[in-house]
């Protein structure tokens, strides 16, 4: 029996699709016009909520210390979830493959809403030169319950604060993270 999408993820995915977020996230051509341009360089967390970090705009972000060796739990969770769900197409560490574009490069230009919209709703870019098809993951709890974590991990990779491979150390999983995870996964 198929379970419905988590309420928060389904609502967010629906809202983003209604807004028409169809940015250049899955387009590997550098000349493509991005839907929004992010600021350059590492982002410092503006708010901490029991192990989760957000920037000044309220967007999920990372907290990395000790020269990139110690990462926050959401970034570590994002690494694990990326490797469970995204690596097959987008390659190790979000660096891209012959099959799908680099997410590290995409997150240098695309924002959170664009990222979530494409992951939840998918994207097709089919023409005579290429056939890029990103499936929709809006009903996949293994992706949508951890979408913020995947975004945080890839954002840290895009900003150059987490290198390739598994982070050496991470903060512990917070109790509020456990509760959100349990509620979302059912």
**All structural domains of the chain with their residue ranges:** 7-185
97 dihedral zone (left: phi>0; alpha: psi -120 to 50; beta): beta
CA distance 177 to 65: 20
* pLDDT computed for residue 17 by the predictor: 40
Distances in Å between the Cα of 135 and the Cα atoms of 66, 76, 77, 132 are 37, 24, 22, 10
Give the pair of three-digit tokens for residue 119.
Answer: 């992951």
Q: What is the pTM of this model?
A: 0.76
**Most distant CA pair in the chain, distance:** 50
Buried b (16+ CB within 10 A) or exposed e, 51-74: bbbbbeeebbbbbbeeeeebbbbb
E-only strand ranges, 12-170: 47-49, 52-54, 60-61, 64-65, 70-71, 123-126, 131-134, 169-170
The number of CA neighbours under 13 Å toward the Cβ of 146 is 24
At what angle are helices 112-121 and 7-19 packed, to 10 degrees?
100
Residue ranges in the chain whose pLDDT is less than 70: 1-43, 66, 68
* pLDDT computed for residue 13 by the predictor: 44
């Amino acid at each position: 029996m198929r379970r419905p999408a988590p309420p928060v993820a389904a609502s967010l995915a629906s809202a983003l699709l209604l807004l028409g977020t169809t940015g250049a996230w899955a387009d590997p051509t550098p000349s493509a016009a991005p839907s929004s341009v992010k600021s350059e360089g590492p982002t410092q967390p503006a708010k901490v909520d029991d192990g989760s970090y957000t920037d000044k705009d309220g967007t999920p972000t990372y907290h990395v210390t000790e020269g990139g060796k110690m990462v926050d739990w959401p970034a570590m969770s994002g690494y694990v979830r990326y490797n469970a769900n995204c690596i097959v197409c987008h390659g190790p560490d979000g660096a891209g493959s012959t099959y799908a574009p680099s997410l590290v490069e995409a997150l240098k230009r695309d924002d959170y809403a664009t990222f979530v919209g494409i992951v939840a709703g998918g994207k097709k870019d089919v023409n005579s030169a290429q056939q890029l098809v990103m499936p929709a993951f809006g009903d996949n709890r293994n992706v949508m319950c951890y979408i913020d974590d995947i975004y945080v991990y890839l954002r840290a990779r895009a900003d150059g604060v987490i290198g390739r491979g598994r982070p050496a150390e991470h903060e512990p999983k917070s109790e509020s993270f456990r509760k959100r995870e349990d509620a979302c996964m059912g």
